[in-house]
Amino acid sequence: MKKTLLIMLMTSFAFTACKKEQKSDNPFFNKYETPFEVPPFELIKAAHIIPAYLKGFEEQREEIKAIINNPQEPTFENTIKALEYSGQLLDKVSSVFSPLNSANTNDTLQKINRELSPLESKHRDDISLNDSLFQRVKSVFDNRGKFTLTDEEKKVLDDTYKGFVRSGAALSPEGKEKLRKINEELSMLSVKFGENLLAETNGYKLIIDKTEDLSGLPDGVIAQAATMAKNLNMDGKWVFTLQVPSMTPFLQYSDRRDLREKLFTGYFMKGDNDNEHDNKAIIANIAKLRVERSHLLGYKSYADFVLERNMAKTPEKVTEFLGKVWAAATPVAKAEAAAQQDMIKREGGKFKLEPWDWWYYTEKIKKEKYNLSDEITRPYFKIDNVMEGMFYVANRLYGLEFTKRNDIPKYQADVQTFEVTRNNKHVGILMIDNYPRPSKRGGAWCGAFRGQNRDINGKMITPIVTMVTNSTPPTADKPALLTSDEASTVFHEFGHALHQLLSNSTYPSVSGTSVARDFVELPSQIMEHWVLEPEVLKVYAKHYLTGEIIPAEIVEKLDKAGKFNTGFATVEYLAAALLDMEFHSFTEPVDLNIREFEKKTMDKYGLIPEIKPRYRSTYFNHIWTSGYASGYYSYIWCEILDADAFQAFKETGDIFNKEVAAKFEKEILSKGGTRDPLDMYIAFRGKEPGIDALLINRGLK
């Protein structure tokens, strides 16, 4: 009997081993047999995604069950660390699906996203609202003094415990059930908002079929519009879209005021056209549900809930800070508007300056004042050269090398892939995706198909980072030529990429850009300071035809014009940041009329009618789908930090000072979220920053 049982067990083991070795048709279930285990995009099909998610959910449920049923006393090792490394298959599939759905989506992926959204919400809640699991986490937290933990482990423990509490683990059964329903509804509303926004952006086109309607537009802008028309099977016409690289040049140069108004209105009314893609009811419901959720969790408002874990800590501190900058910027913006109105009068115009006129007259004044325009500088900002410039800066600062690789899978033909090394040692992979397309959402962002961390045995896992922009694309006869603002955006996203590439954390939850929302923009925004430094321009700003380095007189004009139009840039941004704070400062659920609410908010702060918020509510992707709710202020908050941090380099007389760079990497870039952000900044700079550096940097003081 025993011998028969042994044979049966051995046979079973052999069969199981064969099954393990046998490859699945689903790539997510196999080890990626690609260079650096980059996802094999050519093998991944839409049909693979939901089965991989379902298996990922199942595996993590079993892992959570094992943690809960562990008979040993809860410790960091058997509870917090085990939880940290649970759900690896789920991470594997979601870290591919989510970036693809943002950068290269289609109807099928969007349908999958709708199906998965409530399942993901339920799965997250099943973990965070599991009382048995929470009691083990609480036990480790309450007895933390008994354990010998590294500083990073202390931070992971603190984040984990507080994360459970903030996710409702301490609620009553009735409260947990209510929270589940709110979370599920919020997840679905967020998905629908994003789908509507993409449809609205892709659905609008300004089609021009008469050459006289192109008056004022530079040849390059006309060529870009012709290429767009050709791509849409409209040969012989010119098409302008709501994508910024298409829309902004039209607003800057078109002499046709009526067409400028038409295009601007198309942009400004995205998601607010009372059609099937209208977002007003969606965001009113999101705002209302966020108040209810905050109350359930014991907070006055959603802003109070969010900011507790940010550097700012309270809505009052954010509003006070934004108010100070608003007070400094508004008089400057009014003076800029007056100068434009004066130019209209000088030209014989009989109309009042409107928002769709701002770019046009700003460009004229800039040309008149500095003899400078984007079309003068574009030839020197070929996108390939701009990338060489950012690689040069990273090499000088951190010793990184970037080697283009054509043997690594990529998710879209336009993507460029680089292996990143230092001292001949592999650091990570960087994928750069530069151009707009209907399958890509607007804006610019940085993500990862795999984040840096160490596996459960301590082995380094190197990152696979994605850097996505919507930069001016090439035309039939010209390469992609950027504005200086677009070049700054490329450097900005590269700063986020460096934050991930140079991360040196152990635990996934605190690696790379997993930091407080109002700290995450420091590594990105400091990179922008190098864009127009003469020493850097000499390296990359070369004429795309002649190879001539950008002339010194143009560099001087760029420097002088650097603070031009900053009143507008600051006020339109602040208007959006204040709108965000107002939406999330309600202490009771309110049935909002979105248009009335926006007007009331802008009137409250005194926004001048010639300027509109950078983002209206109905297309404010940052705060409804991208995690910046009560956090859009972060960009200008971090400008306090980045302006002061760059001074650390300038004070040495060397913008590539190795010691300062090494300290910035050691105390900021490599640390991820392993320490309190203010402590990290003080460790780097030796002091807290003040608002003066920000105001001086923007020319507001």
Q: Looking at the annotation, which residues are catalytic?
A: 493
Q: Which two tokens stand for residue 50?
A: 């939901």
> CB 637: neighbour CB atoms within 10 A?
25
Q: Mutual orientation of helices 244-253 and 358-370 as an angle, nearest 10°? A: 70
Task: Match 């208007």 to its residue by tokens.
Answer: 575
SS3 state at 448? strand
The C-alpha atoms of residue 287 and residue 175 are separated, in whole angstroms, by 19
List beta partners, residue 549. 542
The C-alpha atoms of residue 561 and residue 617 are separated, in whole angstroms, by 31
SS3 state at 433? strand
The C-alpha atoms of residue 407 and residue 496 are separated, in whole angstroms, by 25
The C-alpha atoms of residue 291 and residue 302 are separated, in whole angstroms, by 6
User: How is 227-271 classified by DSSP, letter by letter?
Assistant: HHHHHTT-TTSEEEESSHHHHHHHHHH-S-HHHHHHHHHHHHTTT
The C-alpha atoms of residue 387 and residue 682 are separated, in whole angstroms, by 31
Do the bridges between strand 416-422 and strand 453-454 make them parallel or antiparallel, or are there none, so unpaired?
unpaired
- Contacts of residue 33, defined as CB under 8 A and 6 or more positions apart, other chains included, come to 40
- Contacts of residue 376, defined as CB under 8 A and 6 or more positions apart, other chains included, come to 554
The C-alpha atoms of residue 33 and residue 360 are separated, in whole angstroms, by 53
The C-alpha atoms of residue 611 and residue 618 are separated, in whole angstroms, by 17
Burial class (CB in 10 A: 0-12, 13-18, 19+), 626: middle
Answer yes or no: are the C-beta atoms of 468 and 447 closer than 8 Å.
yes
SS3 state at 449? strand
Distances 303 to 62, 166, 636, 641 between C-alpha atoms, Å: 35, 13, 17, 22
> Which helix (DSSP H) or strand (DSSP E) does residue 174 occupy?
helix 173-203
Quote the distance between the C-alpha of residue 188 and its chain's center.
Answer: 21
Q: Which two tokens stand for residue 94?
A: 């979601």
Task: Tell me the residue type at 183.
Answer: N
Cα Rg of the chain, angstroms: 26
Task: Match 């202020």 to its residue by tokens.
Answer: 633
Task: Match 């997510």 to its residue by tokens.
Answer: 28
Distant-in-sequence contacts of 540-543, Cβ < 8 A, 24+ apart: 540/385, 540/386, 540/388, 540/389, 540/392, 541/380, 541/381, 541/385, 541/389, 542/380, 542/382, 542/385, 543/379, 543/380
Task: Tell me the residue type at 140.
Answer: V
SS3 state at 442? coil
Do the bridges between strand 453-454 and strand 460-461 make them parallel or antiparallel, or are there none, so unpaired?
antiparallel
